[in-house]
Chains A and B, each alone.
Chain A
Amino acid sequence: MAEIVLDHLNKRFPNGFEAVKDLSFEIAEAELLVLVGPSGCGKTTALRMVAGLEDISSGDLFIGGRRVNDVPEKDRDIAMVFQNYALYPHMTVAQNIAFSLKLAKRPKAEIKKRVEETARLLSLEALLDRRPKQLSGGQRQRVAMGRAIIREPKAFLMDEPLSNLDAQLRVHMRGEIEALQKRLGVTTVYVTHDQVEAMTMGDRVAVLRSGELQQIDTPTNVYDRPVNLFVAGFMGSPPMNLARATIEADSGRIAVRLGSLAIPVPDEVARDRKLEEWAGREVIAGIRPEDLEGPREDGTLVGSVKIEATIDRVEALGSNLLGFFTVDAEPATSKGIAEATGGDLEEVALITREGTPFCGTFEPRSAIRLGDRVDVSVDTRRLHFFDPESEAAIRG
């Protein structure tokens, strides 16, 4: 067990592509850090650099206080779980799990004991004599975990280990891996493109974009205080509602104008973000779907600020209900949002043409329908503001 320190790591491939740029962060001992970002953001490359499967172009990498840039992968004492599991097809489950111990020339009795322990931990006892092709996806995934666990390494590296499983199993294994990691207390770097996995599993989350670190913080902080439009657009499903807006100041009271809507901003928020300095200027305003709430079952609204909305589309998800409506503000198009969402927002904007589609949450049993006019409350304490130039969050 050990902490991992990335100090100004760079990866430049021979063709000139810079996959990882000036990446610096620390992973504490026994911490589970999730590296998240859209595909091609360099997260897997960063992981492979830690593993030793990819050379480090510049910068320093420390594992357990020792600089390991030039230490070959087999001497770094870390284990990796691959996306496609990479089980040895000609070996049984037991042989797969035992392979590293066999190479380390551990006594036979010890290997047998540790294989049994590992199998028990992962409920693989009944499968030890099977070959990988006789296993289901979830079982293969557990064997891959077993191969990493048995070594008792300094750290686990996991490269999208759940992406080949179907949805239900993925949710289940998410919990299992997290519980296992906490129980073993092994420093873990977990790579995923799935922001739900990042939110639910990580002690901390590091968001990467084009090889650069955007934000590293607890899942809650990343979600509630995204540092820029990219993080705001990437974390959260459905994503944060974003639109172009203007800050209006009227005798000390600050409001944000979204098309024909003027939403008053609470004083403490305005003060905290120093919004007065932005008076009369354009910003990008954001609010998460759960902070736009429809009426309660008894018809009352939670918040004091309400807006009127005409429902364009309804998505009933069972546990909650999403209602989409159009706000007559200009959509917030930015490079960051486009990268975070894969361009989805622009497509939606094409369909509705005028204004910006916003998503709010409604009572799951409420009978809202297409075309309904409803009141939606805005939790104005949870408004987000971004500089349209730099795309950074306005923090004052």
Chain B
Amino acid sequence: MSTTAAPPTSVPVRPTVTRKPVGRVSALGFKYLALVFFAMAVLTPLYIVLVASFKGTAEADPSNAWALPDVWTFDAWRQAWDQLLPNLKNSLYLVIPATLISTVLGSLNGFVLSRWRFPGSDVVFLFLLFGMFIPYQAVMIPLAQLFADVDFPTGIPRLAFAHIVYGIPITTLIFRSYYATIPEELIEAARMDRAGMLRTYWSVVLPLSAPAFVVTAIWQFTSIWNDFLFAVFLITDPSKWPVTVALNNTTGSLVTPYNLQMSAALLASLPTLVVYILLGRYFIRGLMAGSLKG
């Protein structure tokens, strides 16, 4: 009885087993096709930039943008490096302190606004959020005026300060949603263990903040590094320009040296790429930790 009863149970399973891969293969093929298409759309301009950067000045011309270089040369790269090095340094002097300070401030704000709340903290947070939606263009003139009026040190400190202040809303938002995932009881346990606000932050919250720090630091590093607008109107001394402004000035007055421009552009974007490659997996993990559970 039991031996004859066993086979029928496996019969209905079989057709689904053989049928499924067919559908799966075509769906998979379509997915890959779509992915390849979109990847090409993104990468094609990059290809043109890349090949142009290895061409000589005469060869780099929009008319043969698609062609690979006849003669591969690093001349443009060398020239871009020499020309941009001071500005790359300026950018680092700007980005590193501005990123660190705005991230730490965001962490403190996020902690207080989510886990050590005070009367009116929601209103404060609302105003902070508001700051995220104000376009740079809208504040350019008053900002420059304010700096002039208070006689704020010129050059990189001025630009760094502007970026720190304008970074606070987004860094606060990221940390606030990350800290919302830390159980309230953990903070209360610290309070019962007689820890004050700063002690709770330092000993309990900060050690658990690594993912949010990575996300925020990448975000701030990238956006401050790439900023052009604040830099161009807040810094008048060309020797203090960050790389983005200097890049704009590689455009010649009579002829446009495409090879130089392209290699300079790639050089200017390398640091953000490096940061992303080094910390990228934490970035994804951090975003998940902050968003999904919050």
Contact status of A74 and B196, CB under 8 A, knowing A84-B183, A89-B208, A99-B203: yes
Contacts of B78 in A (CB 8 A): none
Contacts of A84 in B (CB 8 A): 183, 185
Q: Are A86 and B185 in contact (CB under 8 A)?
A: yes
A53 at interface by CB-CB < 8 Å: yes
Residue on B nearest A104 in the bound complex, by CB = B194
Q: Are B188 and A53 in contact (CB under 8 A)?
A: yes
Contacts of B194 in A (CB 8 A): 73-75, 100, 103-104
Residue on A nearest B187 in the bound complex, by CB = A86
Q: Are A82 and B208 in contact (CB under 8 A)?
A: no
Interface residue tally of chain B, by bracket? 10 to 19
Q: Are A86 and B193 in contact (CB under 8 A)?
A: no
B195 at interface by CB-CB < 8 Å: yes
A209 at interface by CB-CB < 8 Å: no
Number of contacts between A and B (CB, 8 Å)? 55
Tell me, rounded to whole Å, the shortest Cβ–Cβ distance linking A71 to chain B: 12
Which of B192, B195, B208 makes the CB contact (< 8 A) with A80?
Answer: B192
Size of the A side of the interface (Cβ < 8 Å), in residues, is: 23
Q: Are B189 and A103 in contact (CB under 8 A)?
A: no
Q: Are A88 and B189 in contact (CB under 8 A)?
A: yes
With the chains together, A87 CA to B191 CA distance in Å? 13
Q: Are A86 and B188 in contact (CB under 8 A)?
A: yes
Tell me, rounded to whole Å, the shortest Cβ–Cβ distance linking B190 to chain A: 8
Contact status of A90 and B208, CB under 8 A, knowing A74-B196, A99-B203, A103-B195: yes
Q: Are B207 and A74 in contact (CB under 8 A)?
A: no
- Residues 180-211 of chain B: 1 if any A CB is under 8 Å from the residue's CB, otherwise 0? 00010110111111111001000110011000
Main secondary structure of the interface of B (DSSP, over half): helix
Q: Are A100 and B183 in contact (CB under 8 A)?
A: no
Q: Are A86 and B191 in contact (CB under 8 A)?
A: no
With the chains together, A366 CA to B18 CA distance in Å? 58
Contact status of A73 and B204, CB under 8 A, knowing A86-B183, A86-B185, A86-B186: no
Which of A75, A90, A103 makes the CB contact (< 8 A) with B199?
Answer: A103
With the chains together, A205 CA to B153 CA distance in Å? 69
Q: Are A80 and B199 in contact (CB under 8 A)?
A: no
With the chains together, A52 CA to B194 CA distance in Å? 11
- Residues 240-272 of chain B: 1 if any A CB is under 8 Å from the residue's CB, otherwise 0? 000000000000000000000000000000000
Contact status of A88 and B188, CB under 8 A, knowing A100-B194, A147-B193: no
Residue on B nearest A95 in the bound complex, by CB = B203
With the chains together, A82 CA to B147 CA distance in Å? 51
Tell me, rounded to whole Å, the shortest Cβ–Cβ distance linking B238 to chain A: 48
Contacts of B190 in A (CB 8 A): 88, 99
Which of A82, A90, A104 makes the CB contact (< 8 A) with B185?
Answer: A82
With the chains together, A147 CA to B186 CA distance in Å? 13
Q: Are B185 and A79 in contact (CB under 8 A)?
A: no
- Residues 73-108 of chain A: 1 if any B CB is under 8 Å from the residue's CB, otherwise 0? 111001110111011111000000001100110000
A51 at interface by CB-CB < 8 Å: yes
Report A's interface with B, CB cutoff 8 A: 51-53, 73-75, 78-80, 82-84, 86-90, 99-100, 103-104, 147, 151
19 interchain pairs, CB-CB under 8 A = A52-B191, A53-B191, A53-B192, A73-B194, A75-B194, A78-B192, A79-B192, A80-B189, A80-B192, A83-B185, A84-B183, A89-B186, A89-B208, A99-B190, A99-B193, A99-B195, A100-B194, A103-B194, A147-B189
- Given contacts A84-B185, A88-B189, 12 further A-B pairs with CB under 8 A are A74-B191, A78-B192, A82-B188, A83-B185, A86-B185, A87-B189, A88-B190, A90-B208, A100-B194, A103-B199, A103-B203, A147-B189
